Every structure is written in structure tokens, then in C-alpha cells.
Chains A and B, each alone.
Chain A
Amino acid sequence: MAEAKKQRQRRGEPLPDEAAFVVRGDLLDPDVLAEAAKENYAIYGFYGVSVFAEVGGITWEEIAATKLRRADWVVLFTARALLANGLELWDTGQVPHYDIAHDDLDQLVGRILGCEHRVVQNPLRAEGEPR
């Protein structure tokens, strides 16, 4: 693999409202989080875990029904909880995508797992939508 990393596009937006929900598809699995962060480092040169945030009037339910429609479960954080836990939210790619970022891989995964969150069934599944 080439050593040079791609420059990740940042949108330059203000942080999401502190009360905004930050949603990630699937259950929280430390191995999956670590692998995702390492893959992000391989391409973009920083440890980041992809999530989506309630910005621009988009609700987490809408994100779950579109971006995450194939996920049976979603995890909900608040922006406030993530930031208070020493994590950063980078506005990467296209709205409403973000990366939860930290300089240290173990800290990144540990702080995500230790952050207050709720695991909920994707509302699409609760409504009986087939996979």
C-alpha cells in the first residue's frame, strides 16, 4: 500500500449542537471499532470511526432509515457526551457524516465504549421492514 495518505475533506462547519444525537449503525464491538479506525488511518492518516449526526434538520430516525437502513441496531450518543469524553467530531465527507477522532487508537476505542449511549433497534425493523 502506498505510504502517502489522502487528505480528508473537512466541511468547515460548526460542531453539531451539543444535544444532537450522533448515530452509528450496528452494535458497539471493540474489534470492529478498532479495525474501522485502523483502516481510516491507512487511507486518511488519522484514527477515525464513522458516524452520522443530527445536523441540517436531519433526525437520527431519518439517518437510520436511509444511510443505516440495513442495520438492525443503531447506537445513539449525544455530541455533548462524546466531546465531554475527550473525543473530537470531525465533519468529514458529506453531510451528515462525521468521524469520531482521537490521536491514540486505544483511547479512541475505549472512550467510545465508555461514552454514555443507547442501543436501539432500527425503527425500520421495529416497523416490520424486511432486511
Chain B
Amino acid sequence: MTPPIDLRSDLNAEDDNGENWALLANAADPARLRVGAVVIAGTPRFWSVVRITGVDPDGQVHFVQLDENDPAARTALTTVA
């Protein structure tokens, strides 16, 4: 099952710190993308539950993928199921 994608992104893409990144403009609801927020990022075929780690003034959003067993990831998936 593919959950709704909150942040369309290429999960291959990494920033200089080795974290994933995307554009804020790709968010379904940009207001949700605050540091610490747990959302679904990627594409319908290649997605992950992620935690937002930063939002830059130029619109670059940084995030890390959560392990499937992370309670926050489980909660996120339960919410959308």
C-alpha cells in the first residue's frame, strides 16, 4: 500500500551532510513541514517515512528516513492507513 505522499522527492538525493532533501514547493501542505515533523516523502513507487530536520530560506527541505520499526514511523503509517 502506498500512503499519500506529503513531500514529493527523489530519495536518492542527498545534501552535503548525507541527509535527503527536497523542495518545499513539492509539499502537499508546506505548513506541515516544520523541523521534527514526521511525514511521507518520495514517490508512489519509492517512498519512506521521514523526519524533517531543516527548512532553509531557499526552499530546500532536509530530512532523514526513519526505520520501519521506529515508533514515529509506525504511528505515521497507522494514521494514514
Contact = CB atoms under 8 A, between A and B. Distances in A.
A82 interface: no
Contacts, number: 75
A86 B2 CA distance: 36
Given A70-B47, A72-B46, A94 B18 contact: yes
A39 B23 CA distance: 7
Nearest to B23: A39
Given A9-B16, A36-B12, A70 B58 contact: no
Interface residues of A, number: 32
Interface in A54-98: 67-68, 70-72, 92-94, 97
A27 B16 contact: no
A71 B11 CA distance: 9
Interface in B47-71: 47-48, 57-60, 65, 68
A32 B10 contact: yes
A50 B22 CA distance: 12
Contact of B59 (A1, A26, A27, A51): A1
24 contacts: A1-B25, A2-B59, A24-B12, A25-B11, A25-B12, A35-B10, A39-B10, A39-B22, A39-B23, A40-B13, A43-B21, A50-B12, A50-B13, A51-B12, A67-B12, A70-B42, A70-B46, A71-B11, A72-B46, A92-B14, A93-B14, A93-B16, A94-B14, A94-B16
Interface of B: 10-18, 21-23, 25-26, 42-43, 45-48, 57-60, 65, 68
Interface of A: 1-2, 4, 6, 8-9, 24-27, 32, 35-36, 39-40, 42-43, 49-52, 67-68, 70-72, 92-94, 97, 130-131
Nearest 10 A-B pairs (CB), nearest first? A94-B18, A50-B12, A9-B16, A26-B46, A36-B10, A50-B13, A70-B48, A2-B58, A97-B14, A93-B14
